[in-house]
Every structure is written in structure tokens, then in C-alpha cells.
Amino acid sequence: MYLSKEEERILNGEEGEARRLAMKLVVRVGEALGAERLVKISHAHASGISYDNIGDAGLEFLETMARNGGKAKVFATFNPVGMCMELEPPLKLREEPDFVRKQLRIVKLLELMGFIRSITCIPYRIRSPRLGEHLAWGESSAVAVANTLYGARTNREGGPLALAAALVGRTYYWGLHLDENRHPTIKLVVRNAKVSDELRAGLIGYYMGLELSDHIPLVEAKLAKERHVISMCAAAAASGNIAMCLVKDFSPEYREPVNGLERVEIDEKELVTLRESIETASLDEAELFFTGCPHHDASFVTKVADYIVSKNIGRLKKEMWIAIPGYQASKVRDIARKLREKNIYILPGTCIVVSRLRGRAKAIATDSLKTAFYMPRRHGIRVALSTAWQYIDKFSE
Ligand code: F3S
């Protein structure tokens, strides 16, 4: 692989041991994939930082990098963790002191290495990627959003690779960083299905992941909001290996290819069948409702609070959990206290997929198809699908 003088210097350890190790990792992976050179990045986002995922070995790796003077060379953020940060968690999410101590140590080490205390899977809300900009992001939903909604360029990086890329400010120039790999390879037309909530958008994404995995789909669907595109991308990246799609009216790189594309059409019928195959619990069986996968912006919390007031809703009969970025916790502190009285919990910096929910709930409801994909597989938890508003209406006193 061709390396610039600066890259050679880093590889020779002239910027310290941590950067030497990081450069070695990036170069090794790039060479294995056949990349000819590296590319400078402007933002790295590390995933895979939940203690439940990485365990003591991962914690030790981070200790080593930090001890050896590891410092991010570029803007760097990191994913949510497997516990509730900043605010009092609901009972089912309480953790033993040892788990909490180790998870907090992981967060601390990342901060020591110059990462912003983001604790979120929507890093594009902290810093919007620019069209054509190169990134090294590790969170699959965020990767799909960066490529799809912003026209920025990133592959799906593993946790240690995104960390290494942050330390050297580069990644291997391969895959979705290259122009020739960013063209649509199939067209998906969603007929007669109005997409008015994120649950339905997620169903389209889930279908894409299952049926069109490894493609870059050109999507023609009536998606009304950016949040719908985010839900669709997250589901497609969970149920399949989709890191980018091109969505009419949303993607800056959307172009109909002159020579046409193979075309797949679906309609309401396919979405209903798919929903039936995913739902393994009824709403009555669900012990709680979870929304915020990917994280909601804190403004969603205000929206829920306004809805509760406008409909004069009392305490919900069952819990509702809303995950938001850890860095936004202070924005919602007061409102979160009031919502707790309604049985609604705000979870800053939390990802329930990497939490330790297994054995603590048998069935949950959600509007996130990414959560619906992982809950049965990782935790053996059955899922019901519902929008947040349907759940609130059904279980309000
Ligand atoms: Fe975010 Fe975890 Fe879902 S990282 S997208 S809340 S699986």
C-alpha cells in the first residue's frame, strides 16, 4: 500500500506507540482488502463500546491505547452504552456496581483519548457530514444514514478500526469511499403504501435488508420525513448488509441510471405479511414500550410531554422508555422528572440492544424495526410493533 511521508512516520512510531498500533491496524486491514492507499477522514465514530459486548479484553485494549498516549487526530464521537447514563434508570435497567464501574471506565478512557462525550448513535446530529466527505464510522445505522442522507462516505467499520482511524485521522481508501462503488444496483418501488410513521419506514428497511442485502437500492417510496429515512436505514442495516441506499427527494446522490436497473416492487400486502412474521407478541403481552433506536433527539421528549398534556393523559399503565443521546441529558432533566410520574422513562446514552435486558423481560413493544430484529436474537425477548402514540393511547389511564 502507498503511504505518504506522514503516514510512514506514524507507522514508525514517531507520533507515539498508540498511533503506531492504530496505523498498523488500519494498514493491515486496508492491505487485506486490496486498498491502494489511505484517505484522510474528518470524523470517526466508534461503536462496540458496551462492556457487555467487549468485556474485560476490550477494556484492556482501551486501557493500553490510552496508557500509550492515544489521542484522536480528528473529530471523534462514540456510541451509546448498555446502561442508562446521567438519569435514574427504570428497575429493569439497573446494573450491579461492577458492571457500572467498568462501563463508566470505558467512557472515561474514550474521553481521555479525545473523544467527545456523545454517547449516541446519531453522531450526525452533533456534526452534520458534508457531501463527499470521508468518515470512519462504526455504527451500522449511522453509516447508512451518512451515506444515504448526507452523501458522505464511510464503510461499516468495526469498533477497534473506528478507534484506530480516529487516532491516525485516516482510513483505507476502499469500498464506499470510491466513486465507482456508490452507484445504485437495484430499484425498489414501494407502491400505494403511505409512510407516515417510523414503524412503516422501518418495515421497508427491514424488507430491503432481508431481500436486497449487499445491494445499493434506489428507493422510490412516499417517505415524508428525514426520521423515516433514518428508521429505514437502521432497519436495512440490521436485517441485512446495507450500508447505503439512494432515496428519492432525500439523497444528494440520487440519480436514475441511464441504462435502467433491475426493479423490485412491493406494496401494502408485502409489508403486512412482513409485519406478521416479525411480531411474536401482542401489545397486551408487552411489558414496556421502547423507542429511540436509533436515538431520538431530545425534542422528541418534548413532543411526548406535549402530547400527554394536550390529551390530558394520566399515568401510563405500563412503562415507556425513550432513548436519547447521552450528551443531551441535561436538556431534559426537568421534563424527565415530570414524565417519570407518568411512567415514562428517558434513557440518555442507552442502547437496549447492548444492555443486559435478557431474562428481565419476556416481551416488549417498539416502533423500531432494528430493536425488533435484535431483541429475539440477542435477548430471547418477543416483540410487538406499535407507534409511540398508539401505545400511549392504549395504555393511558
Ligand atoms: Fe442505536 Fe443501539 Fe439502536 S446503537 S441504533 S440504539 S441498536
In the reported structure, the alpha carbon of residue 295 is separated from the centroid of ligand 1 by a whole-number distance in angstroms of: 7
pLDDT band at 259 (very low <50, low <70, confident <90, very high): confident
Mean pLDDT of 73-84: 96
* Atom from ligand 1 closest to the CA of residue 141: 5
pLDDT confidence bin for 75, thresholds 50/70/90? very high
Please check the confidence at residue 43 and state whether its pLDDT lies above 90. Answer: yes
Mean pLDDT of 96-118: 96
Average pLDDT over residues 23-47: 98
Please state whether the predicted TM-score (pTM) of the whole model is above 0.85: yes
Ligand 1 site residues (CB inside 6 A) read: 79-80, 121, 139, 141, 234, 293-295, 323, 351, 353, 370
What is the pLDDT at residue 159?
A: 80
Burial of 389 (C-beta count, 10 Å sphere; 0-12/13-18/19+): middle
For residue 252, whether the previous peptide bond is cis, meaning omega lies within 30 degrees of 0, is no
Q: Position of cell 410493533?
A: 385
What CA–CA distance (Å, rounded) separates 9 from 19? 10
Best residue for ligand 1 mutational test, from 84, 121, 206, 368 (most atoms within 8 Å of Cβ)? 121
Ligand 1: residue of 119, 300, 351 to mutate (most ligand atoms within 8 A of CB) is 351
Name which of 6, 41, 294 is nearest 161 in CA terms.
Answer: 41
Does 391 score more than 80 pLDDT?
yes
pLDDT interval class at 338 (50, 70, 90): very high
Specify the residue with its C-alpha closest to ligand 1, atom 7. Answer: 353
> In angstroms, what is the span from residue 351 Cα to ligand 1's centroid?
5
Confidence of residue 188 (pLDDT cuts 50, 70, 90): very high
d(CA 261, ligand 1 centre) in Å: 32
- The alpha carbon of 326 and the centre of ligand 1 are apart by a number of angstroms equal to 13
Q: Which atom of ligand 1 is nearest to the CA of 139?
A: 4
Mutate-to-test residue for ligand 1 from 52, 81, 141, highest number of ligand atoms within 8 A of CB: 141
pLDDT score for 224: 87
Measure 353 CA to ligand 1 centroid, in angstroms: 7
Ligand 1 centroid to 382 CA: how many Å? 18
C-alpha 291: how far from chain center: 13
Of all protein residues, whose CA lies closest to atom 2 belonging to ligand 1? 351
Query: Cα(28) to centroid of ligand 1, in Å?
Result: 28
Residue 367 binned pLDDT confidence (cut-offs 50, 70, 90)? very high
Asked whether residue 193 carries a pLDDT value surpassing 80, the answer given is no
Is the bond leading into 294 cis (omega within 30 degrees of zero)?
A: yes
CB 44 within 8 A of CB 71: no
Model pLDDT, residue 397: 81
Report pLDDT for 192. Answer: 79
* Interval 281-286 mean pLDDT: 98
In 223-263, which residue ranges form alpha helices assigned H by DSSP?
A: 226-239
- pLDDT, residue 127, reads 97
Q: DSSP state, 180? A: G
Atom number in ligand 1 closest to CA 368: 3
Q: Do 83 and 106 form a contact (C-beta atoms < 8 A)?
A: no
* Ligand 1 atom closest to the CA of 294, numbered from 1: 5
- Mean pLDDT in residue range 298-320: 95
